[in-house]
């Protein structure tokens, strides 16, 4: 028996003999694609060593490798890979990469194998057929184990490529329905860091009509290195600052990959999912397989609607630890599905006192507004009134206390978070509970900051009353100006944040002109070659003061895995550096607010003015309360993160975790088990890798807005409309900014098009003439800031970052909720 077949002689007809992966590689080589040379040990060798597998769920005893096989392998190495110093040993199982199961990630591949250790690598590759992950995969029911097809494994041995750049290309977007885009993901070094989720790759989209229309450069912190000095130790390395945010591919290379992916799609007659790698400038193809379905399947039947206030803060799913801690402290009003929080529509229906259809209720839950005319259902009201009475009896005191809660009362939360942080006896869950709900009943209101935040949402009711009142008594007053009567007072922390970042930007630019040493240091910090500002400079002092007040804020601040500005001051410095000083508009905005109130008053009689004045006062109070409590409850999240980092530091020191950030992919119970040695570091590592992959898969998918609801609430593709978050009507040029790393590209007077926004985006707003956001609602950050700055803002414009391109002229009519491409 020979058992050896060179890759160059294989075709798809050999799938049963060498597995799908090897057969595809052979077909690619025969068609002329640049595939690293190698050979395959076929499934007959496997059968000769293991016999026929009778139960794929029971792991056999590893056999001794037969001398005949090793002789043949050594001969093949001399024949097909005479110059290969290191090898890649890859699985190619007969039930892998097929329909309906891919077994991706369940079988092993080994890199950097030297020829003298190849026997062990072959044996380990075979044994990975019974890896815990593969058995769990079979047991999960995703693959039929009783079909009579027993799994077997061939082993591919190829030259190890010293890849400098690598990634994946999907010849057709597997995530967005009906899309014909080719999607490329690219990172530095080997693709392993990309595929197990440790690196967020660059994301490139190319289509026939627009060519390369989107290149999103990610912050790539790690790479799997191929440098010789790292061979003995772990190859996972930090990437230098100059490379982290640099694009991996040139435009030409992106087209080269895209075109070849299209050719592979033709060759295999199906959309392909292809792995590629560059060795310097030479492009190699490592694997190709059909894109398998990404259809979501779930077994629960609850009708769920996404919880917009959380979903609009960032588009990625929550990490498992954040999800676990949030789930443990939130009431059972919904459920987490794939890292996103959903509300249960049945429970919302019970609280609804209006005559709303299910579709209208879904729209309301998605914060897309209510019908113009609301009819109270007296039957429902009679049912719910006793419940409301009881709610008042059980928690009315807290409700009433928020009527006068001042900023000083809320600021006491800072002391509270310090106490929680210093209490080392608290578990993460206990700390989360205390930070969200407080420690004891009747504590100062500032300690129950999250609850205060939620109760402040009642300003909606006051806005409804004000609208109804002005419609009745001031019919001539333009309703689109009504929001100016209660926005623009500048008493929110977000506006204070904006003022402070503007001040810091101006100071930075002034200091850079006057102080050559500071300019040099700032340039070095931004390039990643230095970390600390000269401590005696005026700017450094002001920067430090800012971090004391706002250091707990930053991007994705409801996600525990996301570092705050205090932890990553360089990111804040970049933001300031890319935010040239501009004329302050705050006074003008406040003037507009006062003018609108005067105009409204002119339409009203004195007693009516008193009522509107009261209503506007309440709206302003509760809006500021909501925004300011957010400023503080983010402080609670930051405190919780610090506690998680303390735990992580300890686990890294004890070598129970391998890489910073891994802890966010375990649940609290699993972290406890790891501390107590009830699960091994190896098992934890396996689990973390799987969770990282799952998280990446979830992050690729747009979160469904509804689940188990007959009428899906999706905006049709190509329909450029959205929800008005701040009224206005302008024409201008679009600037698509998909991440903060592109923030500096926004020029004054352009219309900002963004996937989402959070406080870290705030400094961009005054530069924009208008704002269009793919997610969000009236309550979202984009809406709040835009209203304060009196900028037209449209939110919930699905897919806007794809449908609108930088440089396009737009007519944004936020009041009507429409965008017209000019």
Partner 1 sequence: MINALIFICALPFSVWLLANICCVFDEPKRAPAALRLVASLCVLVGFLLLTSATFWQPIIWALALVVVAHLLSYYVLFRPSLGAAIYRQQPPTTPLLVDEEPEGHPYQ
Helix (H) or strand (E) holding 330: none
Any idea of the CA torsion for 492, 777, 457, 453, to the nearest 10 degrees? -60
Are β-strands 304-306 and 272-279 bridged in parallel, bridged antiparallel, or unpaired?
unpaired
Cβ distance to partner 1 smaller for residue 160 or 804: 160
Closest alpha carbon to 128 in 149, 151, 157:
151
Q: Which stretch binds partner 1 (CB under 8 A): 70-78, 86-94, 370-378, 593-601?
A: 86-94
Assess 697 for contact with partner 1 (CB under 8 A). yes
- Subset of 636-665 contacting partner 1 (CB under 8 A): 658
Assess 423 for contact with partner 1 (CB under 8 A). no
Closest alpha carbon to 461 in 608, 354, 350:
354
Assess 490 for contact with partner 1 (CB under 8 A). no
Cβ distance to partner 1 smaller for residue 67 or 295: 295
User: How many CB atoms sit inside 10 A of residue 384's CB?
Assistant: 16
Question: Could you say which of 54, 61, 140, 147 contacts partner 1 (CB under 8 A)?
Answer: 140
Annotate 633-650 with three-state secondary structure. HHHHHHHHHHHHHHHHHH
Cβ distance to partner 1 smaller for residue 107 or 643: 107
DSSP letters, 77-107, are HHHH-TT-SSEEEEEEETTSS-SS---TTTS
What is d(CA 331, CA 328) in angstroms, rounded to the nearest whole number? 8
Q: Which stretch binds partner 1 (CB under 8 A): 118-126, 453-461, 527-535, 632-640?
A: 118-126
Question: Could you say which of 694, 719, 729, 742 contacts partner 1 (CB under 8 A)?
Answer: 694
Assess 195 for contact with partner 1 (CB under 8 A). yes
The sheet that has 202-207: what strands, in order across it? Answer: 211-216, 202-207, 182-188, 165-170, 272-279, 282-290
Assess 335 for contact with partner 1 (CB under 8 A). yes
Binding mask 436-465 for partner 1 (x = CB under 8 A): -x--xxx-xxx-------------------
- Subset of 212-251 contacting partner 1 (CB under 8 A): 224, 231-232, 234-236
Assess 110 for contact with partner 1 (CB under 8 A). yes
The sign one gets for the Cα dihedral 247, 252, 256, 259 is positive
Assess 118 for contact with partner 1 (CB under 8 A). yes
Question: What is the closest distance, in whole angstroms, from the C-beta atom of residue 675 to partner 1 in the complex?
Answer: 20
121 to 65, 113, 155, 187, 660: CA distances (angstroms): 11, 7, 10, 27, 29
User: How many CB atoms sit inside 10 A of residue 542's CB?
Assistant: 16
Question: What is the closest distance, in whole angstroms, from the C-beta atom of residue 634 to partner 1 in the complex?
Answer: 21
DSSP letters, 369-438, are ---SS--B-HHHHHHHHHHHHHHHHHHHHHHHHTTS--HHHHHTHHHHHHHHHH-TT--HHHHHHHHHH-
Assess 193 for contact with partner 1 (CB under 8 A). yes
Q: Which stretch binds partner 1 (CB under 8 A): 24-32, 186-194, 205-213, 756-764?
A: 186-194
Assess 113 for contact with partner 1 (CB under 8 A). yes
Cβ distance to partner 1 smaller for residue 324 or 502: 324
Closest alpha carbon to 39 in 128, 150, 152, 122:
122
What is d(CA 577, CA 612) in angstroms, rounded to the nearest whole number? 43
Would you call 397 exposed, middle or buried from its count of C-beta atoms within 10 A (0-12, 13-18, 19+)?
Answer: exposed
Helix (H, G, I), strand (E, B) or coil at 27: helix
Question: What is the closest distance, in whole angstroms, from the C-beta atom of residue 433 to partner 1 in the complex?
Answer: 6
Cβ distance to partner 1 smaller for residue 173 or 557: 173
What is d(CA 752, CA 762) in angstroms, rounded to the nearest whole number? 12
| Residue partners of 431: CB distance under 8 A and separation at least 6 | 420, 423, 639, 640, 643
How many residues belong to the site for partner 1 (CB under 8 A)? 99
What is d(CA 701, CA 708) in angstroms, rounded to the nearest whole number? 18
Q: Which stretch binds partner 1 (CB under 8 A): 106-114, 207-215, 539-547, 750-758?
A: 106-114
Question: What is the closest distance, in whole angstroms, from the C-beta atom of residue 526 to partner 1 in the complex?
Answer: 30
Cβ distance to partner 1 smaller for residue 110 or 765: 110
Cβ distance to partner 1 smaller for residue 283 or 519: 283
Assess 333 for contact with partner 1 (CB under 8 A). yes
Q: What length does the chain have?
A: 822
- Subset of 390-419 contacting partner 1 (CB under 8 A): 392-401, 404-406, 408-409, 412
Assess 758 for contact with partner 1 (CB under 8 A). no
Question: What is the closest distance, in whole angstroms, from the C-beta atom of residue 666 to partner 1 in the complex?
Answer: 13
Q: Which stretch binds partner 1 (CB under 8 A): 22-30, 39-47, 105-113, 602-610?
A: 105-113
Question: What is the closest distance, in whole angstroms, from the C-beta atom of residue 688 to partner 1 in the complex?
Answer: 12
Assess 334 for contact with partner 1 (CB under 8 A). yes
Own/partner contacts of 458-465, CB < 8 Å, gap of 24 or more, are 458/622, 459/618, 459/619, 459/621, 459/622, 459/623, 459/626, 462/615, 462/618, 462/619, 462/622, 463/619, 465/615
Question: What is the closest distance, in whole angstroms, from the C-beta atom of residue 240 to partner 1 in the complex?
Answer: 19
Question: Could you say which of 94, 109, 313, 578 contacts partner 1 (CB under 8 A)?
Answer: 109
Cβ distance to partner 1 smaller for residue 186 or 736: 186
- Subset of 564-623 contacting partner 1 (CB under 8 A): none
Is there a cis peptide before residue 100, judged by omega within 30 degrees of 0? Answer: yes
Question: What is the closest distance, in whole angstroms, from the C-beta atom of residue 333 to partner 1 in the complex?
Answer: 7
Cβ distance to partner 1 smaller for residue 30 or 398: 398
Cβ distance to partner 1 smaller for residue 275 or 673: 275
381 to 358, 442, 458, 790: CA distances (angstroms): 17, 30, 18, 37
Assess 117 for contact with partner 1 (CB under 8 A). yes
Assess 683 for contact with partner 1 (CB under 8 A). no
The encoded tokens of residue 384 equal 């719910």
Closest alpha carbon to 332 in 342, 322, 323:
342
Assess 819 for contact with partner 1 (CB under 8 A). no
Q: Which residues pair with 289 in a beta bridge?
A: 273
Assess 177 for contact with partner 1 (CB under 8 A). no
Helix axes 118-127, 43-50, angle to 10 degrees: 80
Cβ distance to partner 1 smaller for residue 111 or 473: 111
Question: Could you say which of 91, 158, 775, 784 contacts partner 1 (CB under 8 A)?
Answer: 91
Helix (H) or strand (E) holding 687: helix 681-700
Helix (H) or strand (E) holding 601: helix 586-602
Assess 90 for contact with partner 1 (CB under 8 A). yes
Q: Which stretch binds partner 1 (CB under 8 A): 27-35, 88-96, 380-388, 415-423?
A: 88-96
- Subset of 273-332 contacting partner 1 (CB under 8 A): 273, 275, 287, 289, 291-300, 323-324, 326-332
- Subset of 142-161 contacting partner 1 (CB under 8 A): 142
Q: Which stretch binds partner 1 (CB under 8 A): 23-31, 636-644, 694-702, 741-749?
A: 694-702
Cβ distance to partner 1 smaller for residue 310 or 465: 310
Assess 337 for contact with partner 1 (CB under 8 A). yes
Question: Could you say which of 268, 336, 632, 637 contacts partner 1 (CB under 8 A)?
Answer: 336
Question: What is the closest distance, in whole angstroms, from the C-beta atom of residue 390 to partner 1 in the complex?
Answer: 8
CB 741 within 8 A of CB 217: yes
Cβ distance to partner 1 smaller for residue 97 or 557: 97
Assess 526 for contact with partner 1 (CB under 8 A). no
Are β-strands 729-736 and 751-754 bridged in parallel, bridged antiparallel, or unpaired?
parallel
Helix and strand totals (H; E) in the chain: 29, 24
């Amino acid at each position: 028996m020979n058992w050896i077949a060179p890759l160059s002689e294989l075709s798809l007809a050999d799938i049963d003999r060498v597995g799908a992966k090897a057969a595809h590689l052979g077909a690619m080589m025969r068609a002329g694609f640049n595939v690293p040379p190698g050979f395959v040990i076929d499934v007959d060798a496997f059968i000769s060593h293991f016999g026929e597998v009778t139960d794929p769920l029971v792991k056999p005893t590893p056999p001794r490798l037969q001398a005949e096989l090793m002789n043949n392998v050594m001969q093949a190495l001399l024949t097909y890979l005479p110059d290969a110093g290191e090898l890649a040993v890859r699985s190619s199982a007969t039930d892998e990469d097929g329909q309906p199961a891919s077994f991706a990630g369940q079988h092993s591949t080994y890199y950097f194998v030297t020829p003298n250790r190849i026997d062990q690598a072959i044996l380990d590759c075979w044994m990975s057929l019974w890896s815990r992950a593969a058995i769990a995969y079979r047991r999960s029911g995703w693959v039929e184990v009783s079909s009579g097809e027993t799994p077997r494994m061939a082993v591919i041995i190829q030259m190890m490529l010293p890849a400098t750049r690598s990634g994946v290309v999907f010849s057709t977007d597997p995530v967005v329905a009906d899309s014909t885009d080719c999607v490329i993901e690219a990172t530095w070094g080997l693709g392993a860091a990309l595929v197990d989720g440790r690196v967020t790759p660059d994301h490139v989209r190319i289509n026939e009509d627009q060519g390369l229309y989107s290149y999103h450069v990610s912050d790539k912190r790690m790479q799997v290195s191929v440098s010789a000095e790292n061979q003995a130790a772990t190859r996972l390395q930090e990437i230098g600052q100059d490379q982290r945010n640099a694009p991996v591919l040139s435009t030409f290379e992106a087209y080269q990959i895209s075109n070849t992916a299209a050719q592979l799609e033709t060759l295999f007659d199906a959309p392909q999912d292809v792995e590629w790698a560059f060795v310097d400038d030479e492009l190699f193809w490592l694997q190709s397989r059909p894109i398998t379905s990404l259809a979501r399947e779930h077994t629960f039947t609850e009708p769920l609607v996404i919880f917009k206030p959380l979903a609009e803060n960032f588009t990625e799913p929550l990490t498992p630890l954040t999800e676990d801690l949030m789930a443990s402290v939130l009431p059972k009003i919904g459920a987490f599905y794939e890292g996103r929080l959903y509300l249960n529509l049945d429970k919302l229906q019970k609280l609804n006192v209006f005559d709303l259809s299910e579709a209208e209720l879904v729209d309301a839950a998605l914060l897309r507004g209510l019908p113009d005319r609301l009819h109270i259902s007296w039957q429902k009201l009679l049912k719910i009134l006793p419940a409301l009475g009881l709610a008042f009896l059980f928690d009315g005191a807290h409700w009433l206390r928020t009527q006068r809660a001042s900023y000083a009362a809320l600021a006491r939360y800072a002391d509270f978070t310090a106490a929680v942080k210093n209490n080392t006896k608290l578990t993460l869950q206990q700390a989360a509970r205390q930070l969200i709900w407080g420690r004891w009943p009747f504590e100062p209101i500032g300690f129950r900051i999250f609850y205060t935040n939620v109760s402040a949402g009642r300003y909606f009711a006051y806005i409804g009353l004000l609208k109804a009142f002005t419609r009745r008594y001031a019919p001539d007053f333009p309703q689109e100006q009504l929001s100016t009567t209660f926005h623009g007072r500048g008493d929110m922390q977000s506006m204070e944040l904006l003022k402070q970042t503007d001040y810091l930007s101006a100071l930075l630019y002034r200091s850079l002109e006057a102080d050559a040493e500071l300019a040099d240091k700032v340039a070095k910090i931004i390039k990643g070659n230095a970390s600390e500002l000269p401590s005696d400079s005026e700017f450094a002092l002001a920067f430090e003061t800012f971090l004391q007040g706002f250091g707990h804020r930053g991007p994705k601040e409801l996600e525990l895995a996301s570092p705050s500005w205090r932890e990553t001051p360089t990111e804040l410095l970049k933001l300031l550096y890319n935010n040239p000083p501009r004329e302050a508009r705050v006074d003008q905005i406040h003037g507009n607010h006062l003018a609108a109130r005067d105009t409204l008053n002119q339409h009203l009689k004195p007693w009516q003015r008193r009522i509107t004045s009261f209503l506007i006062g309440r709206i302003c109070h509760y809006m500021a309360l909501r925004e300011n409590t957010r400023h503080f409850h983010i402080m609670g999240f930051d405190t919780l993160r610090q506690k998680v980092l303390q735990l992580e530091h300890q686990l890294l020191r004890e070598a129970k975790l391998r890489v910073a950030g891994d802890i966010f992919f375990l649940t609290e119970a699993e972290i406890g088990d790891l501390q107590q040695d009830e699960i091994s570091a190896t098992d934890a590592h396996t689990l973390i890798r799987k969770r990282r992959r799952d998280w990446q898969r979830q992050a690729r998918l747009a979160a469904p807005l509804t689940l188990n609801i007959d009428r899906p609430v999706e905006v049709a593709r190509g329909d450029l409309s959205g929800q008005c978050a701040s009224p206005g009507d302008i024409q201008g040029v679009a600037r698509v900014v998909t991440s903060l790393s592109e923030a500096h590209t926004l020029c004054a007077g352009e219309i900002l098009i963004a996937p989402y926004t959070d406080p870290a985006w705030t400094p961009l707003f005054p530069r924009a003439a208008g704002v269009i956001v793919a997610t969000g609602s009236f309550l979202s950050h984009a809406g709040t800031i835009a209203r304060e700055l009196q900028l037209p803002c449209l939110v919930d414009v699905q897919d806007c970052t794809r449908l609108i391109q930088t440089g396009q002229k737009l007519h944004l009519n936020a009041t009507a909720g429409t965008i017209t491409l000019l």
